[in-house]
Amino acid sequence: MSQPTQHLAQLNIGRLRYELDDPRLADFIDNLARVNAIAERSEGFVWRLQDETGNATNIRAFADPRMAVNMSVWEGVEALEKYVWQTVHARFYGRRSEWFEHLDRPYLVMWWVPAGHRPTIEEALGRLDLLRVHGPSEHAFGWDGIAGAQLWKTARCA
């Protein structure tokens, strides 16, 4: 079987309702390692953004310290879709409004990268800006821009 020449990168951002050490975020913070470990064990997982602690909560992509980023790379749509909607991740995603403020603009962007490429935060934020300014394209899209992706439709993802 030949190796894929492209992988699917994703970035999602959110503004935390509270500071990281606030007890109201405890359930979210306390489960990050578990949810990330499930991602890393998932078929089709390639890479995720993380710092020396194993999380991305301390990575500052914005001046606002309550803005959080999550970025990962997957072998393809099916692998990402299964992880997002068919693992414990879906339960935590369903609680997003407890921990994150509502954003009026897209907060999720996906794009294809050459296999082996690890996107930078700057690259990912550029893709998000592209989606926000110009709408979905082959260079920046959401779940609705992926032919064959179905699970997101019942979950009402961005």
Q: Which domains does the chain have, with CATH numbers?
A: 6-155 (3.30.70.100)
pLDDT at 157: 47
pLDDT at 150: 60
Whole-Å CA distances, 62 to 9, 66, 104, 133: 20, 9, 17, 18
Q: Note whether 142 and 110 are within 8 A (CB).
A: yes
Question: Model pTM?
Answer: 0.89
Question: Could you state, in chain order, the average pLDDT of each consecutive group of 10 residues for the chain (158 residues)?
Answer: 83 96 95 93 97 87 95 95 89 93 96 98 98 96 76 54
pLDDT at 158: 42
Cβ atoms within 10 Å, residue 102: 10
